[in-house]
Chain A
Amino acid sequence: MSEPAGPARPASLRERLASGAFTVTSELSPVRGASADALRERARLLAGWVDGVNLTDNQGAHVRMASWASALAAREAGLEPIMQMTCRDRNRIALQSDLLGAASVGLTNLVFMTGDYPKFGDHPGAKPVFDLDSVTMLWTARTMRDEGRLLSGNELKPPPSALFLGAVENPFAPPQEFRAARAAKKVAAGAQFLQTQYVFDIPVFERWVSALRAEGLTERCSILAGVGVIRSVRALDFMASGKVPGVVIPDAVQRRLRAVPADQAGEEGHRLAAEVIARVKEVPGVAGVHLLTAGYEKRVPELLDLAGVSHGRGPRPAITHARKSTNAH
């Protein structure tokens, strides 16, 4: 990528993906509380190491600070925020309104998803909305940006022209044969990048990516493979219990983590995650990884090192100097 003379500016997520450089995004969970200090602290650990962070939208239907507010805090800490929006809690009026608000303060990286059902959260009696779904929401956002209109047809002055639209997909959930087609629907609706659910089953992931490649869709939409770290046997038990929506842990992975002494399962999980990163990096059509490692911020640099993808990454000086950093890529 051509950089202007003078102090190098870290490439934006969009620029980095366009350049073809291996890209790392990470999830950052907003806090349950009225101060973003704790989030800023975790965000600073990632600054310079990742190219963008997803601020989840009441993840797992648990109330957390709004993703827009958390996104602003992450930006202050020197990270490029990616704001998640689910269709669970807002109808088409509120979603479009929030999107305009986000765009007005420069939060233009958005990821849309349908959202977990309220039953799984801390307010299981909440009324679910699901007025739009992930596909129609993406389609709406693209219509707002490219046609300058709301769903109603009313004109936007000005339209949110800088939006960079993302989606998610789970290549491992049934019906697996339809999962690439579902991702294709999201690309047709406007997705420019796509982050996946945890990748543990590499062959299934490879099949899914190659189906997208066969349709030329990896050229139109950057694929970021979801990578998680299983930190303990207890975490493995939980993730494999079927109680985490959409997460499948293959038998081989379970055997490997249970084969080591329980107190070393975390290290084995760390090594496994690094191996997954290194392996998906070699899959043609994969643009990077999306770290689903909330609460693991401290060890992310180590993880990227071990995976061999930390080149050009490193801690970034304090917020005010963030723009002058020369080592962002």
Chain B
Amino acid sequence: MSAPRVAGAGPVPVELLPGPPADWHPGPGEPRRPAAPAPGMAPRWAYLVQRLVRPNWLNRRAGALVERWPAARRLFTRAERASKEGLFGCRMCGQCALPVTGYSCPMGCPKELRNGPCGGVGAGGACEVYPDRRCVWVAGYERAAGMGRAGDLRRLQRPVDHRRFGESSWLNYWAGRDDHLWTADDGLASPPAMGQVP
């Protein structure tokens, strides 16, 4: 191991590790991508939208209606992808965690961590794997804490169901197919059930 040079004492620099070229893009079927860019929607608005997309009577009915026609479902899914990809770097996991992550997409983490940041976050909050990007969980924590929602991040997230990739998470949400995604609280009072992940 050759030791890189560090000039004297002082703040530990977050040096740029050899990352992917700027125009790097995954090939077809490539499961990993560089860490997501910063979320493009201010937390205030994101939490407002959260209230609009709740599984209320209207949304549940609309969802059920859309699901009746494959073409409508495809169109709806495409619209969801278009809006969320631009705003949150959405990866279309089909089981959206944004409501409890300060609207910073955890699937943008190179390790796809849904339970908080790894131990390798750089001193300045840089992603360990792509140091030119900010850690999605540092951003998520700041956004959630700023809105008094830091407690959301303490919920335990269950493992991702890889069959749902590419599906509309709103339709899954309204149909109640992702009710089990995370625990109701921090799980400390009584051991939370993992539940069956078939």
Contact = CB atoms under 8 A, between A and B. Distances in A.
B158 to A, nearest CB: 7
Identify the interface centre among B11, B13, B123: most chain A CB within 10 Å of its CB: B123
Contacts of B14: 242
A153 interface: yes
Nearest to B190: A188
How many chain B residues sit at the interface, stated as a range, is 35 or more
A242 B11 CA distance: 10
B120 interface: yes
Contact of B141 (A92, A133, A178, A242): A178
24 contacts: A113-B119, A114-B118, A117-B128, A131-B160, A131-B162, A132-B159, A135-B115, A135-B116, A136-B115, A136-B159, A152-B196, A153-B198, A174-B124, A178-B137, A181-B150, A185-B156, A189-B156, A189-B187, A235-B3, A238-B4, A242-B123, A246-B118, A246-B119, A251-B11
B132 interface: no
Contact of A177 (B10, B141, B186, B187): B141
Interface string B142-183: 100100001001101111101000000000000000000000
Interface in A252-284: 254-255, 258
B68 interface: no
Interface of A: 92, 113-117, 119, 127-128, 130-136, 139-140, 142-143, 146-147, 151-153, 168-170, 173-175, 177-178, 181-182, 184-185, 187-190, 197, 215, 217, 234-235, 237-238, 240-243, 245-246, 248-249, 251, 254-255, 258
B114 A133 contact: yes
B28 interface: no
B72 interface: no
A174 B191 contact: no
Contacts of B156: 135, 139, 185, 188-189
Sorted nearest first, the 6 A-B pairs with minimum C-beta distance are A170-B119, A245-B120, A188-B187, A153-B196, A135-B115, A246-B119
Contacts of B118: 114, 246
A173 B14 CA distance: 12
B188 A187 contact: yes
A175 B125 contact: yes
B99 interface: no
